[in-house]
Structure 1
Amino acid sequence: MSDAEPVSWDHLKSRQPSAADRKALQRELVDRAVAVRKESWDEYREVWSSGEIAGVAYLLDDAEMLEELGEQEGSVLTVFAGNLYGFNGARKDIQAGLVGTQEWFAEARKQLESRRD
């Protein structure tokens, strides 16, 4: 039997991103989607994590990239719920059908469309 203390995740459960944090993440995601539109995925496959790529692919409605990653809409939304609302907030959004996360992506899509070249 180990004498090691059990790992506590309580500090993550109480993390609650602010509206400013969510806006910053949205700007970053939109900027990345604009970059992919201009330069293609090839520039970023080795630079971004699979989760980052999945978020951008979801924003761009790129079903091929999501399939390549083995990701589904629900998994992308679930991960982003955690990033947007923290552990406890994500649980509530998941129970509500990920409505808040879907609204956040809808707003990001509006921003992306306004930046079409």
Structure 2
Amino acid sequence: MALLAVLGVAGVNLLHERRAPTPADQIFAVDVDVEGMHFIPDSVEVPAGKYLVIDLHNGDDQAHDLKVGDVETGRIEPGKSAKLNVGTVTKPIAGYCTIAGHKMRGMTFEVGVAQA
């Protein structure tokens, strides 16, 4: 019974957290800042098949977040940062701030695929 409980908890954690693969040459990392109601940069071209990791820094005076595809950072307070493991990129993915009204005011982010 205890083993099932441990396996159940481990399974839940795997569903909610993506981990970057170990080979560093397969990771495409990018720094993104929040300034006002904009992501800087607001788009990135990722080589096809690379694993995208976004390091998001909130330089604004209010909380923001970033959702790309089906993963998101959760709210990030001013001056704080968060890593977002997007996953392996094989097609373009849209992203945005999920806080009410922020997407409408320009807080969008695009992931493009660069062909080799």
Give the TM-score band, short-chain normalised: under 0.3
Q: Where is the strand percentage greater, Structure 1 or Structure 2?
A: 2
TM-score, normalised relative to structure 2: 0.23
Q: Tell me the TM-score normalized by structure 1.
A: 0.23
Q: Which has the higher helix share?
A: 1
